[in-house]
Structure 1
């Protein structure tokens, strides 16, 4: 994994770039798709809400030095989704988050993007990063487990059983 000055990351197959206005159309399509955002906190987004969230993501990068990236396949330049770190609105901490097109499933892209985001966060000084997944979202639970994140809590949210995972940076336990 290589870190770039602009806080972008490249992996073997992916480019993760801080989001900008040039990514808005792709992000609007992603966040409006119920196959992707139907299982995310607060569900699918309107174009207006997505514009607001993009502006928030840009500002978050400026303030925190980390955030959500737009994920692209290096070989094709195709937009695959988003991945990165965000403050959970429920106060549980900084969370790993990823949402990629369903067509990406089974190819390891989510795992590769999530692994890069997790490593970036710990390298940036975040001692603890969490992730939340619905119990019935086997793909996300599998990714988090494969990353070495440890399940530490189960709770209910809007009738769904949620699993909270954590990753603690080496040496900060």
Structure 2
């Protein structure tokens, strides 16, 4: 008999080579409050930093979104030690542009390909779930995010201004997604 409990994973948990993506749940609140309140981690996201109250409200909205749509925001954890790295997900944009891929990771975890790996898993999950078109939006000046989106094969498809910043819109169309691309291992 072992004294180590096996973690029971939620439906729609995804494992990649180095990551575990778990649909956000109440137990992620402290991590999300910290991430969404940190300028370096969340300052470039739509509407910027969040208060703890707003982060808690968004978590409730994210859980409800999962229940309605079968996709949403995942908490990204490093598989080797279960460290919380950030979030990735598919969310409906409030401006009506469509379902958008998003990702935000702690600065200390950047430069290791984690954002790319997590975003690819979310994008593949979305297309496999039947989403024909998935967009992403990045500031023109956010070269790191633009690089991730380009590496994932998203193509530029528009631009707009938001709070004085030039925002670039990218899209991934299911018909253009590589046929050899495999759905990440869902648990």
- Show structure 2 runs of 5+ residues with no match: 1-8, 178-187
Partner of residue 58 from structure 1, selected from 63, 66, 74: 63
Report matched runs for 1:13-162 at 5 Å: 13-162=18-167
Which structure's CA Rg is the greater one? 2
* TM-score, normalised via structure 1 length: 0.95
2:128 and 2:78 map into 1 onto residues whose CA distance is 23
2:102 and 2:40 map into 1 onto residues whose CA distance is 16
**DSSP-derived class of the 1:115 partner:** helix
* CA drift at 1:155: 1.4
* CA drift at 1:171: 6.9
Count of matched residue positions in the alignment of Structure 1 and Structure 2: 169
1:144-169: CA deviation from partner (whole Å, max 9, x where unpaired): 00000000112111110110000000
Moved >6 Å (runs of 4+):
none
2:159 and 2:68 map into 1 onto residues whose CA distance is 31
1:93-118: CA deviation from partner (whole Å, max 9, x where unpaired): 00000000011111000000000000
Greater relative contact order (CA < 8 Å, ≥ 6 in sequence): 2
- Show structure 1 runs of 5+ residues with no match: none
Contact 2:13–2:20 at 8 Å: present in 1 too? yes
1:45 and 1:59 map into 2 onto residues whose CA distance is 19
